[in-house]
Amino acid sequence: MANFTRTNLSLDHYTWDGDSNSNADLTGAPDSSTFNPQQGDEVLYILNSALSASAPITALHKGEALIRDELPDDKRAQLDVKKWLDEKI
pLDDT, one tens digit per residue, over 37-61 is: 999 999 999 999 999 999 999 999 9
Q: Output the pLDDT for position 25.
A: 84
Q: Output the pLDDT for position 17.
A: 84
Is residue 78 within 8 Å of residue 31, measured between CB atoms?
yes
Q: Is 15 exposed, middle or buried (0-12, 13-18, 19+ CB in 10 A)?
A: exposed
Asked if residue 76 has pLDDT above 60, the reply is yes
Average pLDDT, the chain: 94
Asked if residue 24 has pLDDT above 80, the reply is no
Q: Which pTM does this prediction carry?
A: 0.91
Asked if residue 18 has pLDDT above 70, the reply is no
The full set of domain ranges for the chain reads 6-88
